[in-house]
Structure 1
Amino acid sequence: MDRICERLPDVFNIAAYFIEGSLSRGHSERIAFYYRDETYTYRTVRSYVRRAATVLRQLGLERENRIAILLPDSPELVFAFWGALWAGAVPVPINTACTIDDIQYIIQNCRAKVLLTSQMWHEKLSEIKSEFLSEVLLVDGEEPFRSRLDQTSKEATPARTSPNEPAFWLYTSGSTGRPKGVVHRHASMVVSAEHYGKDILGLHENDITYSVAKMPFAYGLGNTLYMTMAVGAASVLSDAANAFDIIADLNHYQPTVLFGVPSTYASILAVREIALLETTRLRLCLSAAEQLPKTIWTKWFQAYGYEICEGIGTTELLHIFLSNRPGECQPGSSGFPVPGYEVQILNDQGYPVTIGEIGTLQVTGESLMLGYWNRLDETRNVIYGHSIRTGDQYRCDAEGFFWFMGRKDDLFKINGQWVSPFDIEEALLQHESVLDVAVVPQGDAQESLPYVVAFITLKTGFTGSPELEDSIRKLAKACLPHFKAPKVIHFLEKLPRTPTGKIHRKALVNLNASVPVRQIV
């Protein structure tokens, strides 16, 4: 297996690698980022990044010190993130979809010396409880961060870091507890950019990418920040959060590559008749973060004529390691291993399973994290040498396609048989009224027998009723074995999701226990 990291020099700064590399390839006057009505060339980005490094050093941010960045996708986030790396410091972007409590925890946990945020967020955080924080920079107000950069003439030289030292942290979504700080080294971005961005997607300098996932999310960081810079392409910086705003962005910027998530594709399809999407320049549609239902894949292809190339990645491996190939998609699958990654499915004893058998996914690749910050036991529980056991349950078919069956704690038994929620969700999505759906198990207090509970968000024009429940349940029984049909159906305005957009199944289990229901046996 080709090892990219072995080819990197002993002195290696990832910010300088991408930014100086773009200029050396003649991209200095090409647009790197679109933001609202503004554009930023690679030359402009380089100047702001170097000045950001100077400002951060003047504030006392030293090598390996952390800077927390709590911002939506914006030029200031880009300049601060690369500027910190340029200075040898460690940027820690924080997802603005996190709860206030989790944001406070992350700032304290990562021991950030500097926080860059907005006045609004600073007020929301009230008093930040961290003995390590010495400076709060704001992007607005009397002395905004951009003004400091504009007033700085000195442009710092890059720190002489190594490819293997900590470069940046990303926090997991924390759906099963407090967020975990995932520590990545300087070399990690190169691996993802080469193997996925270039080898799988064929990104090139004329591409414009648009990512629904934001930069504090590992998927969004690659889509928007470094994979495009690796080839001299452009990215759109946007904080759009609903289907109408995303469609408006897509129509305005006309990207060639759309990095989506399943719920976004479903939402765009749901408003198709009232919000026209122009796709004349689009060449690739991608999806990650959670399982893409085959129903959504098919409807998207029928509506717009584009495959959705689904893949899977983790924060611990930085980006995608399993992916469908453009022109060779198998709807519902995660595709094949990305070049540079070895992917196996193992049983509980740690041995490879046979074709078609379900087991735990183990991945080996150079973009593997250094570990979880201050969580030694949890790190050792998932890392085996150069490999990580993700906890995802998978099977591989005879053609080599990998199929996601859920997290280990997502699977449940009904009538003594293991059930994946995705099979049931796929069936329910075929009903004309269903926009979004999540399935969880629930035990019966009297019989102590588990049964299926479905949480459903309806399309515009449909209203929850006993008659609609019966109609949905009738479809489920026609498509699935009788025991997989939902015994309980809840209609919700919106499904609860983690900050990275994944369905929060544990929250749904708790919700079911507290809501009166109409059960049909």
Structure 2
Amino acid sequence: MTLFNAAEYLVDRQDGGRTAVVTAGRTLTYAELAAEVRAVAAGLRARGVRPEERVLMCMVDGIELYTAILGAMYAGAIAVPCSTMLTGPELRKLVLDSRARMVLGSRMYAPAVTTAVEDAPDVTEVIFDDEWDLIGQGSLDSPYPTWPDSPALWLYTSGTTGEPKAAMHSHQDIRVVAETYGQQVLGVRPDDRCLSVAKLFFAYGLGNSMFFPLSVGAAAVLQPSRPTGDLIARLTADAHVTLLFGTPSFWGPVLASQLPSDSFSTVRQGISAGEALPPRMYHGMLDRFGVEVLDGIGSTELLHIFLSNRPGEVRPASSGVPVPGYEIALRDEHGSLITEPGVSGELYVKGESAATGYWCRTSASRRVFLGDWTRTGDTYVRNDDGTYSSLGRTGDMLKAGGIWVTPSEVENRLLEHPAVAEVAVVGVPDEDGLDRAVACVVGTPGEKVDEDELIQWCRDGLASFKRPRRVIEMTDLPRTATGKVRRNVLREIAGQVGSSR
């Protein structure tokens, strides 16, 4: 059988003298990165980590996490990077579920890690990043002889509506996303420097900061801190970043900031995912900073973006067209194929990067992974020009007066108002149990959020039944670890306020 190891593919094929990873404290060439990856792989093997065993990581973005992910795969083990936003009890669920024997952590997360591994029956060793010399014991001269289908990476979904699930990805999945979206859509090249707002424990961030740059000999710029506009602008200038990966929750505050118009002058392309990019943000980034932002949709289950706009061919308010190598289908509630444009349906995708399933979640796997197709749970519509536009999660649609209302349509209207920086529209039942649209709004700094004015603004631009019945001002919107709005939390908050005055 053909052998293929994703870590070898990413690290060993490049010019050893080229810069591979840039951090505030250290910069590694490809030769130095390869040496550290082999040392970590050897250290894991010396500590009894066997092929296909899980190595769980709760670490900040830095050289240690970077080499831990690659080193685990190089040794034939399975890398399981976990969200650093989890509490100890939340992380413990992942430790127990994964049955990891080895846990790697950053010292700053020691309280959560310690709680997570307490009395965990399978954990035999915990190593923190300030003890990293314990990892490196010699060098593993060659990668473990994995196959393309060998397991390489588990990524836990956020679990906002249920228990977290580990999407299981093979070594070949990494090459697929690098050579389709990374190279054929973004055109990643050796002189690029990639900076991602999303961290390495996200599927989105892992592709942005590892799979894409390393696959062509480019450089990844890592930063462990909360990605504020000022910080990312400063790092972009200092590191000469050319590809900047963000989310709507990042682009919105950037546009509301006082950053000068040349803050992102080195960026040749902006990229957005996580949620649909409002047209206001696309036009704002282009007009004010000269950065074209490509909106797309991906998922943990598909490892990265499978539907995307193209450079120079952006249709605002759309997710673009299928990435090469992927097929898209829309189906109605009965599973029947929708062929005509303008009719909404659930989005299905077919591509070689699909996970093999969820670890120990048979019923969930059977609902989502349907032969060659993966069911996304997103509602989409195909436009006349062949692009696809998001209408939100399938369960987020609401009825007002017996007529279906798409939250994103109301949200986009509200985002056109200068007083609105961020917004999420949810349905809240009234005293008769009928849905009423409620808008949860984060105001633009220096602007006043006036409920009556915003409701009238929607009346003026939309059919009257689509207007929100209430506007609730908030300091920020609750989000998942992947940056998606937690609409279930907003429904609870809005329900306490009420759907009518």
For the criterion TM > 0.5, the same-fold answer is: yes
Q: Are 2:274 and 1:282 equivalent residues in the alignment?
A: no
Q: Tell me, what secondary structure is at the counterpart of 2:112?
A: helix
Distance in 2 of aligned mates of 1:119 and 1:301: 40
Superposition deviation, residue 308 in structure 1? 1.1
Identity of aligned residues (%): 37
Q: Is the 8 A contact 2:41 2:139 kept in 1?
A: no
Which one of 95, 98, 107 corresponds to residue 83 of structure 2? 95
Q: Are 2:429 and 1:443 equivalent residues in the alignment?
A: yes
Q: Are 2:167 and 1:182 equivalent residues in the alignment?
A: yes
| Structure 1: segments with no counterpart, 5+ residues | 1-8
Distance in 1 of aligned mates of 2:416 and 2:87: 33
Superposition deviation, residue 341 in structure 1? 0.6
Which one of 390, 397, 402 corresponds to residue 404 of structure 1? 390
Partner amino acid for 2:312? G
What aligned pairs does 1:32-431 form with structure 2 within 5 A after superposition? 32-127=20-115, 128-129=117-118, 130-140=120-130, 144-145=131-132, 147-149=133-135, 152-241=137-226, 242-271=228-257, 273-274=258-259, 277-353=262-338, 354-431=340-417
Deviations 1:213-235 (A, max 9, x none): 11111111100011111100001
Distance in 2 of aligned mates of 1:253 and 1:154: 31
Deviations 1:46-96 (A, max 9, x none): 000000001101111111111111012111011111101111111100011
Superposition deviation, residue 124 in structure 1? 3.1
Which one of 7, 14, 26 corresponds to residue 6 of structure 2? 14
Q: Are 2:488 and 1:498 equivalent residues in the alignment?
A: no
Q: Is the 8 A contact 1:438 1:455 kept in 2?
A: yes
Partner amino acid for 1:311? G
Deviations 1:320-356 (A, max 9, x none): 1101000000001010101101111112232221211
Deviations 1:439-493 (A, max 9, x none): 1000002x322111111111222355xxx11221221111111122111111111
Superposition deviation, residue 134 in structure 1? 0.6
Superposition deviation, residue 251 in structure 1? 2.3
Distance in 2 of aligned mates of 1:486 and 1:495: 17
CA separation of 1:148 and 1:156: change in aligned 2, threshold 3 A? farther
Alignment RMSD: 1.5
Which residue pairs with 1:509 in the alignment?
A: 491
Distance in 2 of aligned mates of 1:69 and 1:39: 22
Superposition deviation, residue 369 in structure 1? 0.4
Q: Tell me, what secondary structure is at the counterpart of 2:301?
A: helix
CA separation of 1:103 and 1:324: change in aligned 2, threshold 3 A? same
Superposition deviation, residue 157 in structure 1? 2.3
Superposition deviation, residue 99 in structure 1? 3.7
Superposition deviation, residue 210 in structure 1? 0.7
Q: Is the 8 A contact 1:87 1:156 kept in 2?
A: no
Superposition deviation, residue 239 in structure 1? 2.1
Distance in 1 of aligned mates of 2:265 and 2:447: 32
Q: Tell me, what secondary structure is at the counterpart of 2:251?
A: helix
Which one of 418, 440, 446 corresponds to residue 461 of structure 1? 446
User: Which deviates the most, 299-308 or 120-129?
Assistant: 120-129
CA separation of 1:99 and 1:419: change in aligned 2, threshold 3 A? farther
Partner amino acid for 1:40? L
| Structure 2: segments with no counterpart, 5+ residues | none
Distance in 1 of aligned mates of 2:279 and 2:261: 23
Superposition deviation, residue 274 in structure 1? 4.8
User: Which deviates the most, 450-459 or 367-376?
Assistant: 450-459
Partner amino acid for 1:510? E
Equivalent residue pairs, number = 497
Q: Is the 8 A contact 2:308 2:319 kept in 1?
A: yes
Distance in 1 of aligned mates of 2:87 and 2:410: 30
Partner amino acid for 1:47? A
Partner amino acid for 2:345? G
Q: Tell me, what secondary structure is at the counterpart of 1:227?
A: helix
Distance in 2 of aligned mates of 1:511 and 1:284: 37
Which residue pairs with 1:5 in the alignment?
A: none
Distance in 1 of aligned mates of 2:8 and 2:447: 53
